[in-house]
Structure 1
Amino acid sequence: VASVVIGKWARKRQDLTGQIFPVFWTSVGLIIILPVIASLIMGGPFTISYPEFGRFSITGGWSLEPEFLALLLGLAIYTGAFIAEIVRSGINSVSHGQTEAAHSLGIRGSFTMRLVILPQALRVIVPPLTSQYLNLTKNSSLATAIGYADITAIFAGTSLNQTGQAIEVILITMLFYLSISLLISMFMNWYNKRIALVER
Structure 2
Amino acid sequence: MSHRRPTVKGDLSFSNPAVRAWLFQILAVAVVLAIVAYLIHNTVTNLNNRGITSGFAFLDRGAGFGIVQHLIDYQEGDTYGRVFLVGLLNTLLVSALCIVFASVLGFFLGLARLSENWLLRKLSTIYIETFRNIPPLLQIFFWYFAVLRNLPGPRQAVNAFDLMFLSNRGLYLPAPMMGEGLMAFFVALVVAVVVTVGLYRFNSKHQIKTGQLRRTWPVALGLIIGLPIAAHLAFGPALHWDVPELRGFNFRGGLALIPELAALTLALSVYTSAFIAEIIRAGIQSVPHGQHEAARSLGLPNPVTLRQVIIPQALRVIIPPLTSQYLNIVKNSSLAAAIGYPDMVSLFAGTVLNQTGQAIETIAITMSVYLIISLTISLLMNIYNRRIALIER
TM-score using structure 2 length: 0.44
Count how many residue pairs are aligned between Structure 1 and Structure 2.
Answer: 197
Question: 1-side partners of 2:327 and 2:195: how far apart?
Answer: 29
Pairing of 1:1-200 with structure 2 (within 5 A): 2=194, 5=197, 9=201, 29=221, 33=225, 37=229, 40-41=232-233, 42-55=235-248, 57-200=250-393
* Post-superposition offset of 1:95: 2.0
Query: Aligned pair in 2 of structure 1 residues 191, 31: CA closer, same or farther (>3 Å)?
Result: farther
Deviations 1:11-55 (A, max 9, x none): x75x957999989x68x9599746863564344332222222324
SS at match of 1:152: helix
Question: 1-side partners of 2:273 and 2:297: how far apart?
Answer: 34
Worse-matched range after superposition: 130-139 or 111-120: 111-120
Amino acid at match of 1:193: R
Question: 2-side partners of 1:58 and 1:21: how far apart?
Answer: 52
Query: Aligned pair in 2 of structure 1 residues 112, 135: CA closer, same or farther (>3 Å)?
Result: same
SS at match of 1:53: strand
Worse-matched range after superposition: 163-172 or 98-107: 98-107
* Post-superposition offset of 1:173: 0.4
Partner of 2:130: none
Worse-matched range after superposition: 94-103 or 185-194: 94-103
Query: Aligned pair in 2 of structure 1 residues 3, 112: CA closer, same or farther (>3 Å)?
Result: farther
**Which has a greater percent of strand?**
2
* Post-superposition offset of 1:169: 0.7
Question: 2-side partners of 1:136 and 1:98: how far apart?
Answer: 33
Deviations 1:57-104 (A, max 9, x none): 422233221111100100111111111221122112112221221232
Amino acid at match of 2:290: G
Question: 2-side partners of 1:194 and 1:4: how far apart?
Answer: 25
Worse-matched range after superposition: 124-133 or 29-38: 29-38
Give ranges in structure 1 of 5+ residues lacking alignment.
Answer: none
Question: 1-side partners of 2:239 and 2:331: how far apart?
Answer: 36
TM-score using structure 1 length: 0.81
Measured on the aligned residues, the alpha-carbon RMSD in Å equals: 3.5
Relative contact order, CA 8 A, sep 6+: which one is greater? 2
Question: 2-side partners of 1:22 and 1:128: how far apart?
Answer: 39
SS at match of 2:310: helix
The structure with more radius of gyration: 2
Give ranges in structure 2 of 5+ residues lacking alignment.
Answer: 1-192
Query: Aligned pair in 2 of structure 1 residues 116, 31: CA closer, same or farther (>3 Å)?
Result: farther
Question: 2-side partners of 1:143 and 1:3: how far apart?
Answer: 45
* Post-superposition offset of 1:160: 1.1
Query: Aligned pair in 2 of structure 1 residues 142, 19: CA closer, same or farther (>3 Å)?
Result: farther
Question: 1-side partners of 2:377 and 2:301: how far apart?
Answer: 34
Question: 1-side partners of 2:265 and 2:295: how far apart?
Answer: 39
